[in-house]
Amino acid sequence: MINIAFGANLVLGFILVLGVTILYFVRIVRPELSRDEDIFFATLGLIYGCILIIHGWRLDPILLFSQVLIIIISLFIHFTLQL
């Protein structure tokens, strides 16, 4: 069953998809900044973002908060280490 409901999970999923899409397009725009692992992380991020968008309505608040923290930390670390 696919049930997409507007909530924090939808916003979080779109933020994640937007972040990894930017990571993917860095490879096209500025190839000297990208690494070979970026394609792998972008693919995993797109899959994870789609799962959050489609099945995120099942998350209780504390689990959703943990997902928010994981995404913020991973995007922060990845973009700061890339600079």
Closest residue by Cα to residue 39 from 52, 56, 20:
20
Q: How many C-beta atoms lie closer than 10 Å to residue 51's C-beta?
A: 13
The string of pLDDT tens digits covering residues 41-82 is 788 888 888 888 887 777 778 887 888 888 788 778 877 876
- Whether 64 and 8 have beta carbons less than 8 Å apart is answered as yes
pTM over 0.75? The answer is no
